[in-house]
Every structure is written in structure tokens, then in C-alpha cells.
Amino acid sequence: MNNGLLLLNGAIYTMDSSRPRAQAVAARGSRIEAVGTDAELRKLATGGQWRIVDLRGKTVLPAFTDSHLHLLECALKASRLSLNEQLTLEATLSRVREYVQHAEAGAWIRGWGWSDNTWAPDTVSSRQLLDRVAPEHPVVLTKKDGHVIWVNSEALRSAGIDEDTPEPPGGVMERDPKTGELTGILKEEAMHLVCDAIPSLSAKERQAVLRRVMAEAQELGITGVHDCGNWQSVKDDSLSDYQEMMGRDDLAVRVFMMLSRANLDEAIKVGLRTGFGNSHLRVGNVKLFCDGTLGSQTAEMIEPFVGQPDNNGVATISQEELEHAVLKASSAGIACAVHAIGDKANRRVLDAFEKQRHAGVGRELRHRIEHVQLLHADDIPRFKELEIIASMQPIHATSDMYMADKYWGQRAELSYAWRSLLDAGAHLALGSDAPVESMDPLVGIHAAVTRQRANGEPEGGWHPEQRLTVSEAVHGFALGAAYASGTEEEGGSITPGKLADLVVLSGDIFEMPPEEILDTHVVATVFDGSIVFSDGDL
């Protein structure tokens, strides 16, 4: 059995400043043994202990790590009713009606992807509309941004919710302004009221779908994920599932697993700390939420949304609670990752981290803000000053740009401000937020480099002054991601001694016109020194 892998005749971009380019890379076991020229590394390949691969000039990068996704939700998305965000209300209801006809009696109907941002003006969703197409099944339809659910009357009844159910802190239970009745729209923390009532999958079922989605990740060149857990429900058994899978040598990507706020006390009680684990599974940061989203106009804003003078968004956690959680976690050696979309939410999170640092607690921890979609100019330098990682998803910019212009107006100049943050000295870790967006890192790199959609809109890019170079974007999915998980000494670059995780691409994204990045695909993925995916072109 071969215990070495030698890749020759390649265009290798190492992300290692000491040797940025190479022709060949050799891996023995799970580690990179050498990087250099073909002539230098051929000397290693003696005997029958090496598998030698001629790359025929193909491009090699460090394998990608997605710094922000929800892996189980990605896995389950395929089994749910798909609701494209471009569908009209009528088309959405038609799909629900058709889906229900083939469902088992009384089964919960889960759907994903609807968006009223593209519906006709004055169009209103309501539980009564869903009741007409699904009177006997509990229906839960998740909006594209993942922070709003639309449910029917049967779902409310099954969850034990009625008109007298109190609105939870940080949540919104939308009501008809005339009658006061629940409309079936639940936002932020209110989603838990229904989602926690949905029957859970067994561990065997969860792990089966996780295996499938990990194989899909490998096909995209991904060998590492920062799993932000299931945000719709307080239930999250992912860490347990990953441990079981690792015990069976069944964990096909490296997982940095976030902890839910609901599990923080238990994690502290048993002594878990951020970074505990091994190269395949580590305990991550505790995931907190500060506000909602742009698409649902629940992002917390310093000034109101354009055209909505009474709407400054939703604070899903008070400042006192946020500061208490940050201090408690930091005191126990657990770093924090806080969801913040609006400029006020980002400011509040930075304030909480500043207070924690002044308390002299957990200064070594790598705290991060997730999404960082809109910033006030005064807060950009604070990321460097407070050593806070900006965990961002480039594809959100191109997906959300028209909404950002609509609801944020001129403030959108500092939305998805990767260049401003990088120039101010901040650490960027890049991801996808899948299943909200595509998990494909090349799609994210294209968005980061062009600030354009696949069809080339807008010409010249949306706020092009915030674009990244290809090298900076790749860095965000490699060394930036490794830094965010505290593993930059183990991965993120093609460097001798580091883990042998590599991706082979069909073209050189550093040399081609940026718009052609979307035509590039993964030829092969190397994980722990072994080729775990190949399209047959090697």
C-alpha cells in the first residue's frame, strides 16, 4: 500500500510567504514532507512506496476551509421542499400544495428558500394562505436568510402556540394589525417555539446525511468546516454525531464545531475549552446572536432602514446579556463567535469585546464576529485594535446588493467591506453560510474578486473599491480560516510539516480573467495525504 503521494509538474500556490510558488509537493502519511521543483522532489520517490501523479500544469492550492456554514442544515436541505427565492407568492403556494399531496398523513412539511423581497408590492404572507393548500399537515417554511419561518395553523397547534403565547425575548411573533391574530410569521428567537416541536432525526439518520454532504464538500475542494450549528432550534447534537463518526474513522472533513449558547453552562461545567480536540474535530467558539438579517429587516441599525422610519431592527440579545455571556465564556477559556449584521449590532459586539479585554480576561482567545455585513466607519479600525476576526461570506455581497441599496442606501458603501477591514489590519476568515448560499468556495472567491453576479452584474462590480485580490480571497479560505480556529501551525498553507490537505483546480485562477473563475472546477481533493476525490482527469 502506498504511504506517499508525489504531485509533479504543477502550478502550486502555497500561501506560504517563504516559498509562494512551487512545481511539486510530496506528502507522506497525513503530512506534507517537501515542497519544491520536480527535480528536487523526484529524489524522494524511490521504491514502490510512492504514488506519483503528473499534474500536467494544473493548479494546486491549500484545500479550502469554509469558515461559516451549517453542515447538518446543508445535508437536510436536499430532503426539503425547495422554494426558489425568485418564486412569486402564488408559485410558492402551488409548490406547497403539490408537495403535500405526496406526503404521509400528518407529516411535518419543511421547506426552504422563499423570499417576499421579490414578491409584488403589498403582497402579504399569512398562515391562512398555507392553511388553504395544507390544511392537515404542519408546515414550516424557512425564509432564504434562515431567520424567519412561515407556518400554518396546524404547525402552531402542534407546537402548542396560541394567541396567548408570550413573545420570547429577542423574537418576533408577527400579528395582524387589525385583529391581533398571529399571522404565522415568526422571526429570530420566536422560531424556536415551532422548530423545537418538530420530531428530531435519530443519530443514525443525521450521520447518514452528514456523510453524504461531507462527500459533496470534498468534491468542492473543502476539507475543513467551521460548523455554526443549527440556529433555528436550541437542539443540536452535532458535536456528539461528529465524535461518533470520528470514532469510526468516518469524519471526512475537519470540523471546528461551534457551541450553542444553550449549551454554554454545560460546556463550562465539564471543562470544555475552545481548541480542545485533535486535527479532525475541535471544540470551537460559542455562537451568540446579536441581531437579525438584512432580508427580513431585522438587522440592528444605528439609523432606521430606508423607508421604515420606525424600524431599527431587532436586538436578539440585550447589551447586558451579551457582555455577561462574553465575559462568562472568556473566563472559562471559550472564545465567542457573535452573529452581527447591522452597524449597531456590530458596534455592540465590539463594545462587549472591548469591555472583556479591559477586564483582563481571555485576552489570548480569538473572538470573531460572524457576517459583519454593515459597519460604521468609526468601527472598522476596532477589529485590529481589539484583535477581533471578521468572519465574512463574500457571496452575501453579490446576493444581497440590491437589497442593501434598497434598505441601507448610502450606508451600503461600507457593507461587506472586506478591503476596508483588510487594509485596517483585520484578520479575514471567509465562508459561505451554506445552506443560505452555495457552499462552493470558487463561487465565493469569484464574488470576493469581482463583486459581481454570475451574469456580470453590475458592470465594474458593486462598490468595487471593496474587492479582494485572488490571493487575498484564497487566503481567507485557507490561512485566514486556519487562524480563526487557532490551527495556522497545522494547516492553511502548503508547507512542510503541515497537514496534507490540497485541492487541484482545472485552471489557474490567479492568471485567468476573474469572470472565468466560475468556469473552473475541482479536479481532485487531497485529505490527510490521500486523494479522496478525483474527477478522473489526473
Number of domains in the chain: 3
358 and 448 fall within a common domain: yes
Tell how far CA 281 is from the center of its chain. Answer: 17
509 and 386 fall within a common domain: no
For residue 516, is it within any domain?
yes
Q: How many helices (H) and strands (E) does the chain have?
A: 17, 24
pLDDT digit of tens for each residue in the chain (538 aa)?
457 999 999 999 999 999 999 999 999 999 999 999 999 999 887 766 899 999 999 999 999 999 999 999 898 887 888 887 678 888 889 999 999 998 888 889 898 888 887 777 767 778 999 999 999 999 999 988 888 999 999 999 999 999 989 999 888 999 988 888 999 999 988 999 998 898 888 899 999 999 999 999 999 999 999 999 976 555 668 899 999 999 999 999 999 999 999 999 999 999 999 999 999 999 999 999 999 999 889 999 999 999 999 999 999 999 999 999 999 999 999 999 999 999 999 999 999 999 999 999 999 999 999 999 999 999 999 999 999 999 999 999 999 999 999 999 999 999 999 999 999 999 999 999 999 999 999 999 999 999 999 999 999 999 999 999 999 999 999 999 999 999 999 999 999 999 999 999 999 999 999 999 999 999 999 999 999 999 988 8
- Cα distances (angstroms) measured from residue 243 to each of 228, 238, 248, 277: 16, 9, 9, 10
The closest alpha carbon to 226, from 289, 144, 146, 282, belongs to 282
Torsion sign across C-alpha atoms 209, 214, 220, 225: positive
178 and 310 fall within a common domain: no
Domain that holds residue 23: 4-57+497-534
The residue whose grid cell reads 482527469 is 537
427 and 501 fall within a common domain: no
End-to-end CA distance of the chain: 19
16 and 103 fall within a common domain: no
Under DSSP, is residue 170 helix (H, G, I), strand (E, B) or coil? coil
Does this model's pTM top 0.85?
Answer: yes
pLDDT at 231: 61
pLDDT at 2: 52
513 and 423 fall within a common domain: no
372 and 404 fall within a common domain: yes
For residue 388, is it within any domain?
yes
21 and 92 fall within a common domain: no
For residue 263, is it within any domain?
no
For the domain that residue 505 is a member of, what is the CATH number?
2.30.40.10
Q: Are strands 336-340 and 368-371 parallel, antiparallel or unpaired?
A: parallel
End of a domain among 141, 161, 195? 195
Strand intervals (E) in 394-536:
428-430, 502-505, 522-527, 530-534
Torsion sign across C-alpha atoms 45, 49, 55, 56: positive
End of a domain among 136, 161, 195? 195
Rounded distance between C-alpha atoms, residue 227 and residue 371, angstroms? 14
519 and 451 fall within a common domain: no
501 and 432 fall within a common domain: no
Query: Per 3-state DSSP, what percentage of the chain is helix, strand, and coil (rounded to 5)?
Result: 35, 25, 45
For residue 246, is it within any domain?
no
For the domain that residue 183 is a member of, what is the CATH number?
3.10.310.70
State the CB neighbour count (10 A cutoff) for residue 174.
18
For residue 248, is it within any domain?
no
C-alpha torsion 481→504→509→477, nearest 10: -10
For residue 123, is it within any domain?
yes
For residue 492, is it within any domain?
no
What grid cell was written down for 4? 506517499
For residue 431, is it within any domain?
yes
14 and 138 fall within a common domain: no
The answer to whether the CB of 484 falls within 8 A of the CB of 366 is yes
Q: What angle do CA 54, 58, 59 make, to 5 degrees?
A: 125
pLDDT at 1: 45
Rounded distance between C-alpha atoms, residue 289 and residue 294, angstroms? 14
106 and 174 fall within a common domain: yes
